[in-house]
Every structure is written in structure tokens, then in C-alpha cells.
DNA sequence: CCACACAGCGCG
DNA sequence: AAAGCGCGCTGTGTGG
């Protein structure tokens, strides 16, 4: 049973029951927004439907705030993103449909919401009002596209995982990562000195600027300007082409050390300093926006607060509340394990049935050198053509012919301008206008540029199949964790404070999750995380030929994990 | 004045 | 020691 939910004008929401093909069952009805949460909670309890809507965050955030958690949904926007390019889809009607909905859209369009638009209003304003019938038709078209596709089961799994991920993302934003302001301020003062007036440099950075100006004989130097800095370095005989850290390290000039120190502090101050704290931490929680499928490969991206780039140096401030713990679980070496499973390379799968895949590969063919094995394999997945990884490639290819053939075929397809797909059927968007232009070039210079472009596209498609399938595994893992946590009992004497239950799934970073929960619940959480990982492997690859081992830590603060 | 590209660096 | 893939954010610099 499906329940379709479509925002209408004048503060109302329209609902309709749909059958398994998206056909209306009975008459649609309408509810005022203020009545919606209670009505939805009742329907969820009595009918346990799959909720169908265009965009999860538009409606679900408000439901959560009203205390309602939902078990499952179908996110039409996320499904559209997958289906419009998936090479598994054969239905010509759907392609036309998706084109209509997305507007122009021969090429992907960004549907980013402006920050001002996504403020804390009770309901997120939908970008455009489509009628219930229009939305229903798109949903029905999606169901048909899946059922008539080359691999319905795979696409069904992918869309279910995406929709579950959308629920998780909204819940994570609702809950937030527990963040200790005092600890964060302490660590900032320790590194930078007392909080400066707005627009001023912190004291310890200012000291470094004074030293740098003396050492480089440049009394007005602004080290934040790469151009200025480069010129100044040259005047002092430091012959670097850029001002990047690793290049600066090649010089032993006395100014280099304070310069690197300045860059480190500057990064902390500008990216995660006092301004960041004031902007992003409220009520002791960090609540960024997660964008499911925000990356072409299917990974999540985030908006605000640099949520997926929290540097190690500030992770101390992510702390469990008293009596609670953080569970941080990290899936080890996901991408090479995914490659082994996808390619059904028996040798590599053997290496992937254990805790340390790189060590196994090292023993199998790199004289026990783990670092060589790792460099070779990463190079194969990223398309490295130079240095050590290129030198090791022939050996890797001899050891694991099928695995290497898979990524090389993906690269060749990309170089020709073709599309490649993940295991569950997310495909690369078409190359874009500059590809067509490059095809028609005449001059030698233009031809060289076109070749370079083709190689870059090949590296992209080569990596896409692996990174994208790893993202699918991770979303299945996430969905499995979510449903298991929902089934956990309340600890003795505890109140059901949160609609998402006693254990809070608060953070997700590509192959890593964080749960915030009462200490006595932690053994159950660990079990949930581990069994969900096993299940994800089976969901994708059947009787899973490879393992997906986890590193699990139960800690008080994020920095204590790994 | 705003919009955008780039450099640089954080994360996986 | 980085490179080869994917991102977001900040400050600087440029062009309208």
C-alpha cells in the first residue's frame, strides 16, 4: 500500500491511497498542515504504508519535529535522478517523462535550494506546486520504468536504499551530532589564543605573521594571499611553483616552518573556529544539511558547516552526553572489496575474505609489501598513470585479471564518451556539451586537449563504478542500521524522548557511521551495526563472496575512535 | 556592488 | 611523497 502526500497551496497537503502500480484507490483527501502530523502518525500505525512524496526533507522534517517517525518511503526526486540516466531503464516513456519534469535537462540540472529558502520554517517551502495527479503520474511512471527495466530487482533495491537514506538524512539533521561548545572553545584557545574581535587574527596567528614578515623581509606581507606569498618567497630565493604545503616542505629556509604553522592555524580558524561554532552549533548539537545523492557517484554531500570534512583536530568536541556513548563504526577497505565482488575475481575475493585485504594481496604477489599492494590497487581504481602505482600495475593485472579488466573496461567506455553503471544501476550522466565540441576539433592543439579530456573522463568512469557501488553498499548498511535501531527497547526507566527511538543515528561519512545512545544500549547497537553490514553484502551480491569487516569503537568523544 | 574562478586544504 | 577519484568551504583576485 502506498500513501501519496503532495503539498498544496494555502497551507494544505493532499493525500491519496495508491495501489502497487500507482493507481488511485478511492478519492484523494486534504488536510491542513497543522493536522497533518497527527493524521500521518495514525495512518502509519494503522496501515504501515510506504509514503510517497516528491522530496523527503520537504515534509518529513516537520513530521519529525511533531514527534512522528516513519518506517519507509519512496522519494520521487531521488528516484528520478537514478532512473533518468540509468542504462538499465528501457522504457522510452520514462525518459520523456523525466525530461518534462526536469525542464530542459539534456544534462543534469542543479536543484540546490538557496540557504535562505531552507530556513527553520515549520514546513520547507516546496520549489513548485505540482498537482497530486501530476505527482502520481510520475510515481506510476517510475514504477513502470523499474518493472520493465533490464534488472528490476537491482533498481528496486537502489531506490529503496536511496529513500531510506533520505529518511536517515532528515533524522540526522533533526537529531544533530552532540557537540560540546566548551571543549571546542578550549581547543581553539589552546591552538590560537583567546577569541579575537570579529575580523581580527587570533593572537598566535598574528605572532606568526610578525615573524614571517621579518624572516622574509616583507613588512606588509599578507600570507593569506597565495599570489603575494609566492612573489615574496621568490624574492627570498625559495623557488617553488605553488604555495602548497608539500612543495614548501622541500625548502629548508627558516621561514618555512612558521609559514606551515600559520597555514595550519589559519585553516582551523577560518574553517572550524569561533565563527563556525556560532553559525552551526545550537543547543549543543551540530545540524548540517545532508544531501543524499549529492555526488554524481551516489555519495552524499552536505551543505553548511563542512559536515563531511570535520577535521580530526576538532573531533574532541563531538561528545556523548553523560551516561551516553558514541559508537563509531568504520567499514574497512570498502572500495577494493566492492571491486572484488563486482568483478567476481576469485583471487581478489579470496584476499577480501579477511580483515586486511591489502596484507593478503601483499602476500599473494608483492613480496609481503603491504604499502606496494595498496598503492597498486588504489592506482588501479583511480587511474594513476605515473610513478610507483603505474610500475606495479602489470603485476596486479597478472594476479587479478578480472578485477583489473573491469576498471579498464570502464575507463575505455568513458574515453569513448560512453556511460558506465554501478552494480545496482546508477549510470554516469552524459558527457556534456564540451564533449561534442571536442569531437569535432581539427587543430593539433585542440586535439591534444580533446585527448586529455577523454583521459580525464576515463579516470572518472573507472572510479565511478567502484565509488558508486561502494556508496550503494553503504546506503544498504545505513538502512539496515536504521531499521534495527528502531526495534531496540527503551532502557529501564527511560522516557521515549525522541521519535527516532532511544538510539540516535547521528552521522554518516561515506563508509563510517556514528550512533549516540545510552551506554546500556551499546551492545545492542554494536550487534545492529555488524549484522547490517553482513546483510548489505548479501543484498548486493547474494551469498556474499567477500567480507565487509568493520572497525567498531564505543567511546566518549569522536577523536577516541581509531 | 555582486558573481565567479582559483588556490589551498579538510574529509572519504 | 604525491598521485590517480569524489566532494565543500574560505579567502583572494578578477571581471562585470
| Same domain assignment for residues A451 and A364 | yes
Determine, yes or no, domain membership for A533. Answer: no
Q: Residue A402's domain is classified under what CATH number?
A: 1.10.150
| Same domain assignment for residues A188 and A274 | yes
Where residue A323 falls (left for φ over 0; alpha for ψ -120 to 50; beta otherwise) is left
Pick from A118-132, A379-393, A503-517: least confident? A118-132
Name the 3-class secondary structure at A281. strand
Q: Quick check: A397 pLDDT over 90?
A: yes
Cβ-in-10-Å burial (0-12, 13-18, 19+) of A322 comes to exposed
Rounded Cα distance between A94 and A405, Å, is 33
Determine, yes or no, domain membership for A494. Answer: no
For chain A, give the percent of residues with pLDDT over 70.
93
Q: What is the mean pLDDT of residues A204-229?
A: 93
pLDDT at A117: 38
> DSSP letters of A78-147?
HHHHHHTT-TT---HHHHHHHHHHHSS-SS----PPPGGGGSS-SSPPPSS---HHHHHHHHHHHHHHHH
User: Could you give the count of Cα atoms lying within 13 Å of A15 in the half-sphere of its Cβ?
Assistant: 18
| Same domain assignment for residues A224 and A273 | yes
Number of domains observed in the structure of chain A: 3
Q: What is the mean pLDDT of residues A512-525?
A: 96
| Same domain assignment for residues A81 and A20 | yes
Using alpha carbons, select from A260, A265, A268, A259 the residue that is nearest to residue A211.
A259
Determine, yes or no, domain membership for A89. Answer: yes
Determine, yes or no, domain membership for A326. Answer: no
How many Å apart are A437 CA and B9 C1'?
Answer: 33
Q: Residue A260's domain is classified under what CATH number?
A: 1.20.1060
pLDDT at A44: 98
pLDDT at A387: 83
Question: Helices A401-415 and A444-486 meet at what angle, rounded to 10?
Answer: 120
How many Å apart are A504 CA and C7 C1'?
Answer: 26
Q: Quick check: A105 pLDDT over 50?
A: no
Contacts of residue A89, defined as CB under 8 A and 6 or more positions apart, other chains included, come to A83, A95, A145, A146, A149, A150, A155
Residue A230 Cβ under 7 A from any strand B atom: yes
| Residues near chain C strand, CB within 7 A | A 222, 224-228, 246, 249, 270-271, 275-276, 291, 294-297, 299, 301-306, 308-309, 375, 378-379, 382-389, 456, 459-460, 463-464, 467, 510
Determine, yes or no, domain membership for A502. Answer: no
| Same domain assignment for residues A129 and A206 | no
| Same domain assignment for residues A146 and A185 | no
Cell (9 digits) for A350: 579470496
Kindly report which amino acid residue has its CA closest to the C1' atom of nucleotide B11.
A309
Is residue A54 within 8 Å of A135, Cβ to Cβ? yes
How many CB atoms neighbour CB A109 within 10 A? 10
How many Å apart are A120 CA and C14 C1'?
Answer: 36
> Which neighbouring-strand residues pair with A330?
A512, A551
| Same domain assignment for residues A273 and A191 | yes
Cell (9 digits) for A38: 497527527
Long-range contacts of A501-508 (CB under 8 A, 24+ apart): A501/A69, A504/A175, A505/A168, A505/A171, A505/A172, A505/A175, A505/A478, A505/A481, A506/A172, A506/A175, A506/A176, A506/A177, A506/A178, A507/A172, A507/A177, A508/A168, A508/A169, A508/A172, A508/A290, A508/A300, A508/A474, A508/A478
| Same domain assignment for residues A23 and A132 | yes
Is residue A344 within 8 Å of A402, Cβ to Cβ? yes
| Same domain assignment for residues A15 and A87 | yes
pLDDT at A136: 97
How many Å apart are A220 CA and C12 C1'?
Answer: 16
Residue A232 Cβ under 7 A from any strand B atom: no
Rounded Cα distance between A335 and A547, Å, is 12
Nucleotides of C under 7 A from a protein CB: 1-14
- A410-440 as b/e, with b when 16 or more CB fall inside 10 Å? bbebbbebbbbbbbbbbbbeebeeeeeebee
pLDDT at A434: 67
Q: What is the mean pLDDT of residues A265-294?
A: 93
pLDDT at A544: 73
Between A108 and A362, the more confident residue is A362
Minimum CA–C1' distance nucleotide for A512: B12
How many Å apart are A515 CA and C3 C1'?
Answer: 34
Domain boundary among the residues A465, A496, A519 is at A465
Minimum CA–C1' distance nucleotide for A305: C9
- What's A427's DSSP letter? B
| Same domain assignment for residues A127 and A234 | no
Q: Quick check: A119 pLDDT over 70?
A: no
Using alpha carbons, select from A423, A380, A424 the residue that is nearest to residue A404.
A380
Q: Quick check: A390 pLDDT over 70?
A: yes
Is residue A52 within 8 Å of A5, Cβ to Cβ? yes
How many Å apart are A436 CA and B3 C1'?
Answer: 28
Q: Quick check: A107 pLDDT over 70?
A: no
Pick from A61-65, A76-80, A382-386, A548-552: least confident? A382-386
Rounded Cα distance between A500 and A485, Å, is 8
Nucleotides of B under 7 A from a protein CB: 7-12
How many Å apart are A120 CA and B1 C1'?
Answer: 29
How many Å apart are A382 CA and C4 C1'?
Answer: 4
How many CB atoms neighbour CB A247 within 10 A? 12
Rounded Cα distance between A6 and A9, Å, is 10
Mean pLDDT of chain A: 90
Determine, yes or no, domain membership for A433. Answer: yes
Residue A240 Cβ under 7 A from any strand B atom: no
Residue A263 Cβ under 7 A from any strand B atom: yes
Is residue A526 within 8 Å of A554, Cβ to Cβ? yes
Signed CA dihedral, A418, A420, A425, A427: sign only: negative
Q: What is the 3-state secondary structure (H, E, C) of A191-204?
A: HHCCCCCCCCCCHH
How many Å apart are A389 CA and C14 C1'?
Answer: 39
Q: At A50, which helix (H) or strand (E)?
A: strand A50-53
pLDDT at A114: 36
pLDDT at A381: 94
Q: For A60-91, what is each residue's pLDDT tens digit?
A: 999 999 999 999 999 999 999 999 999 999 99
Is residue A476 within 8 Å of A540, Cβ to Cβ? yes
Determine, yes or no, domain membership for A209. Answer: yes
| Same domain assignment for residues A61 and A14 | yes
Domain boundary among the residues A444, A465, A486 is at A465
Domain boundary among the residues A232, A254, A278 is at A278
Cell (9 digits) for A452: 586529455
Rounded Cα distance between A337 and A474, Å, is 12
How many Å apart are A557 CA and C9 C1'?
Answer: 24
Residue A266 Cβ under 7 A from any strand B atom: no
Q: How confident is the model at residue A433 (pLDDT cuts 50, 70, 90)?
A: low
Minimum CA–C1' distance nucleotide for A112: C8
Q: How confident is the model at residue A452 (pLDDT cuts 50, 70, 90)?
A: confident
Q: How confident is the model at residue A122 (pLDDT cuts 50, 70, 90)?
A: very low
Minimum CA–C1' distance nucleotide for A267: B9
Minimum CA–C1' distance nucleotide for A384: C4
- Maximum pairwise Cα distance, chain A: 81
Rounded Cα distance between A476 and A155, Å, is 13
- Tell me which residue range forms the domain holding A56: 1-150
Residue A41 Cβ under 7 A from any strand B atom: no
Kindly report which amino acid residue has its CA closest to the C1' atom of nucleotide C4.
A384
- Across the beta sheet with A24-32, the strand order is A24-32, A12-18, A2-8, A50-53, A73-75
How many Å apart are A309 CA and C8 C1'?
Answer: 8
Determine, yes or no, domain membership for A312. Answer: no
pLDDT at A386: 83
How many Å apart are A270 CA and B8 C1'?
Answer: 13
Residue A296 Cβ under 7 A from any strand B atom: no
Residue A264 Cβ under 7 A from any strand B atom: yes
How many Å apart are A112 CA and C8 C1'?
Answer: 14
Minimum CA–C1' distance nucleotide for A334: B12
> Which neighbouring-strand residues pair with A29?
A15
| Same domain assignment for residues A138 and A224 | no
Q: Quick check: A118 pLDDT over 70?
A: no
How many Å apart are A445 CA and C3 C1'?
Answer: 25
Cell (9 digits) for A200: 581580527
Residue A253 Cβ under 7 A from any strand B atom: no
Amino acid at each position: 500500500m502506498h500513501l501519496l502526500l503532495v503539498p498544496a497551496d494555502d497551507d494544505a497537503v493532499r493525500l491519496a491511497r495508491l495501489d502497487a502500480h500507482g493507481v488511485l484507490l478511492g478519492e484523494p483527501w486534504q488536510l491542513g498542515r497543522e493536522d497533518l502530523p497527527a493524521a500521518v502518525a495514525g495512518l502509519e500505525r494503522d496501515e504501515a504504508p510506504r509514503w510517497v512524496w516528491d522530496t523527503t526533507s520537504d515534509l518529513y522534517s516537520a513530521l519529525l519535529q511533531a514527534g512522528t517517525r516513519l518506517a519507509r518511503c519512496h522519494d520521487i526526486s531521488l528516484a528520478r535522478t537514478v532512473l533518468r540516466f540509468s542504462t538499465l531503464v528501457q522504457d522510452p516513456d520514462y525518459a520523456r517523462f523525466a525530461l518534462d519534469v526536469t525542464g530542459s535537462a539534456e544534462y543534469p540540472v542543479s536543484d540546490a535550494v538557496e540557504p535562505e529558502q531552507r530556513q527553520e520554517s515549520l514546513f520547507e517551502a516546496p520549489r513548485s506546486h505540482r498537482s497530486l495527479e501530476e505527482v502520481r503520474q510520475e510515481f506510476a511512471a517510475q514504477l513502470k520504468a523499474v518493472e520493465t527495466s533490464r534488472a528490476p530487482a537491482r533498481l528496486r533495491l537502489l531506490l529503496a536504499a536511496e529513500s531510506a537514506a533520505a529518511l536517515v538524512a532528515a533524522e540526522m539533521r533533526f537529531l544533530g551530532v552532540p557537540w560540546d561548545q566548551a571543549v571546542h572553545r578550549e581547543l581553539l584557545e589552546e591552538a590560537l589564543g583567546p577569541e579575537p574581535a570579529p575580523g581580527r587574527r587570533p593572537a598566535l596567528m598574528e605572532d606568526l605573521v610578525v615573524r614571517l614578515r621579518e624572516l622574509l623581509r616583507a613588512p606588509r606581507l599578507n600570507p593569506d594571499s597565495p599570489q603575494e606569498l609566492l612573489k615574496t618567497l621568490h624574492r627570498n630565493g625559495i623557488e617553488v611553483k605553488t604555495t602548497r604545503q608539500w612543495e614548501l616542505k622541500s625548502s629548508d629556509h627558516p621561514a618555512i616552518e612558521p609559514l606551515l604553522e600559520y597555514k595550519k592555524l589559519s585553516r582551523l580558524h577560518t574553517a572550524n573556529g569561533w565563527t563556525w561554532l556560532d553559525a552551526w552549533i545550537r543547543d549543543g548539537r551540530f545540524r548540517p544539511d545532508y544531501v543524499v545523492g549529492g555526488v554524481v557517484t551516489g555519495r552524499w554531500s552536505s551543505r553548511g558547516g563542512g559536515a563531511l570534512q570535520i577535521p580530526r583536530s576538532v573531533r574532541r568536541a563531538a561528545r556523548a552526553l553523560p551516561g551516553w556513548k558514541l559508537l563509531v563504526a568504520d567499514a574497512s577497505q570498502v572500495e577494493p572489496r566492492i571491486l572484488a565482488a563486482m568483478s567476481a575475481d576469485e583471487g581478489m575475493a579470496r584476499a577480501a575474505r579477511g580483515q586486511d585485504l591489502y596484507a593478503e594481496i601483499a602476500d599473494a604477489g608483492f613480496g609481503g609489501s603491504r604499502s606496494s599492494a595498496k598503492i597498486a590497487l588504489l592506482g588501479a581504481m583511480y587511474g594513476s598513470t605515473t610513478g610507483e602505482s603505474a610500475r606495479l600495475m602489470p603485476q596486479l593485472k597478472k594476479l587479478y585479471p578480472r578485477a583489473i579488466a573491469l576498471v579498464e573496461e570502464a575507463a575505455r567506455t568513458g574515453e569513448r564518451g560512453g556511460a558506465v553503471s554501478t552494480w545496482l544501476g546508477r549510470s554516469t550522466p552524459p558527457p556534456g556539451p564540451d564533449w561534442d565540441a571536442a569531437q569535432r576539433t581539427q587543430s593539433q592543439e585542440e586535439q591534444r586537449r580533446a585527448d586529455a579530456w577523454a583521459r580525464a573522463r576515463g579516470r572518472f568512469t573507472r572510479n565511478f563504478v567502484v565509488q558508486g557501488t561502494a556508496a550503494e553498499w553503504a546506503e544498504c548498511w545505513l538502512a539496515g542500521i536504521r531499521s534495527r535501531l528502531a526495534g531496540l527497547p527503551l532502557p529501564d526507566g527511560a522516557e521515549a524522548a525522541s521519535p527516532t527511538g532511544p538510539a540516535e543515528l547521528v552521522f554518516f561519512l561515506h563508509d563510517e557511521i556514528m550512533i549516540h545512545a545510552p551506554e546500556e544500549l551499546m551492545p545492542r547497537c554494536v550487534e545492529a551495526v555488524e549484522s547490517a553490514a553482513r546483510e548489505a553484502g548479501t543484498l548486493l551480491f547474494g551469498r556474499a563472496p567477500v567480507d565487509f569487516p568493520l572497525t567498531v569503537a564505543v567511546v566518549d568523544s569522536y577523536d577516541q575512535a581509531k
